[in-house]
Amino acid sequence: MANVLIKTSTILTVIIPLILLSILQNSQLAISTSKNDIDDQYVEDDNDDDDNDESYILDESPSNVRSRSRFLASYIIKKGTHCDPVKYNICNGVPANKGKSLLYCCKAHCRNVLGDRNNCGRCGQKCKFGERCCNGSCTNVLFNKNHCGKCDKQCKKGVACDYGYCGYA
């Protein structure tokens, strides 16, 4: 009786992980298929979300910072760089990322006032729940067909934006 019990438990320890693995693979396939169905309801755009950028490439070099090399074509500021409005203001209204960012010194750190939810349009201007900072103004992205779920994400013609998804049913 003990031998049968040991053999059965050994077989089950091999079969159960295989069953769970096949269930997991099938569920991932269903998730990726449904994601493609959702993506088909958006207008295609080449704009990536700027929230994940780690640095800003300035469109013009700041006047109060001298370049170490005359061969540097661009000046890069990392996200959240320390600044001082009086002594070391490297981000005082400086355009960056080909006009998609505008940097200001907010509470001693460089912030993009065109896309920062806590400094939208100006330092200290916070967006409410369900809003994102789109081009310097707080925008409701839950029900706006031109900014559905994130800035500049447009729904196709005739498809409504509900809860940040185009064609949510």
pLDDT in tens, 6-59: 777 777 777 776 676 667 565 443 433 344 444 444 443 433 444 555 788 887
User: Does residue 164 sit in the same domain as residue 114?
Assistant: no
Predicted local confidence at residue 88, as pLDDT: 78
Element (H, E) at 7: helix 2-39
DSSP lists the bridge partners of residue 110 as 105
pLDDT higher than 80, residue 116: yes
Shared-domain flag, residues 51 and 99: yes
- The answer to whether the beta carbons of residues 166 and 42 sit under 8 Å apart is yes
**Do 143 and 159 share a domain, yes or no?**
yes
Q: Which domain holds residue 121?
A: 44-126
- Judge if 95 and 144 occupy the same domain: no
Does residue 87 lie in a domain region?
Answer: yes
Residue 6 lies in a domain: no
Choose the most confident range, by mean pLDDT, from 56-60, 85-89, 118-122.
118-122
Q: Does residue 154 form part of some domain?
A: yes
In a domain, 108, yes or no: yes
Residue 169 inside a domain? The answer is: yes
Indicate the burial class of 148 (C-beta count within 10 angstroms; 0-12, 13-18, 19 or more): buried
Question: What's the total number of domains in the chain?
Answer: 2
60 falls within a domain: yes
Can you tell me which residue has the tokens 């994940």? 52
Average pLDDT, the chain: 75
Instruction: Report CA 118 to chain centroid distance, whole Å.
Output: 15
Q: In what order do the strands lie in the sheet with 109-112?
A: 94-96, 101-106, 109-112
Q: Are residues 166 and 122 in the same domain?
A: no
Distance of CA 65 to the CA centre of its chain: 30
Q: Is the pTM of this model over 0.85?
A: no
120 and 48, same structural domain?
yes
- At residue 139, the pLDDT reads 94
Residue 53 lies in a domain: yes
In a domain, 140, yes or no: yes
**Same domain assignment for residues 54 and 118:** yes
DSSP 40-107: TTBPP--PPPGGG--EEEBSS--TTS--S-TT----EEETT-B-BTTTB-S-SSEEETTTTEEEEEET
Q: Are residues 48 and 114 in the same domain?
A: yes
63 and 112 both lie in a single domain: yes
Is the domain of 94 the same as that of 119? yes
Residues 107 and 58 placed together within one structural domain of the fold: yes
Residue 66 sits in the same domain as residue 109 = yes
Q: Are 149 and 141 in contact (CB under 8 A)?
A: yes
